[in-house]
Structure 1
Amino acid sequence: MLEIIGAGVAVIIAAILVLAARQPDVCHIARSIFIAAPPERIFPLIDDPRASNEWSPFVKDPSVKLSYAGPERGVGAACDFEGNAKVGAGRVEIVESVAPSKVVVTLRLDRPMKCSNRVEFTIAPQNGGSLVTWDMKGRQPFLGKLFSLVMRPEKMVGGAFEQGLGDLERLVETARDEAAPTA
Structure 2
Amino acid sequence: MLKGVAIFAVVLAVGIAGVLVFALSKPDTFRVERSLAVKAPAEAIYPLVADFHRWTGWSPYEGRDPGMKRTFGGTAVGKGATYAWDGNSNVGAGHMEILKANTPSKLRIKLDFERPFEGHNTAEFTFVPQGDATLVTWAMYGPAPFMSKVMQVFLNMDSMIGKDFEAGLASLKKLTEK
TM-score, with structure 1 as normaliser: 0.91
Residue 107 of structure 1 corresponds to which residue in structure 2? 111
Unaligned runs of 5+ residues in structure 2 are none
Residue 75 of structure 1 corresponds to which residue in structure 2? 79
Please show how residues 27-42 of structure 1 align to structure 2 within 5 Å. Answer: 27-42=30-45
Percent of pairs with identical residues: 39
Please show how residues 90-129 of structure 1 align to structure 2 within 5 Å. Answer: 90-129=94-133
Instruction: Select 1:12's aligned residue among 12, 15, 32.
Output: 15
Residue 152 of structure 1 corresponds to which residue in structure 2? 156
CA distance in 2, matches of 1:64, 1:138: 25
Residues 128-161 of structure 1: per-residue CA shift (max 9 Å, x gap): 1100000110111111111122232111111000
CA distance in 2, matches of 1:120, 1:8: 44
CA distance in 2, matches of 1:152, 1:79: 27
CA distance in 2, matches of 1:131, 1:42: 10
CA distance in 1, matches of 2:7, 2:171: 54
CA distance in 2, matches of 1:55, 1:85: 20
Unaligned runs of 5+ residues in structure 1 are 175-183
Residues 36-79 of structure 1: per-residue CA shift (max 9 Å, x gap): 01111111111111112321111113121111001110111111
Moved more, 110-119 or 47-56: 47-56
Residue 175 of structure 2 corresponds to which residue in structure 1? 171
Is the contact made by 2:55 and 2:62 (CA closer than 8 Å) also made in structure 1? no
Instruction: Select 1:89's aligned residue among 80, 93, 116.
Output: 93
Secondary structure of 2:117 counterpart: coil
Secondary structure of 1:72 counterpart: coil
Residue 6 of structure 2 corresponds to which residue in structure 1? 3
Q: How many residues align?
A: 174
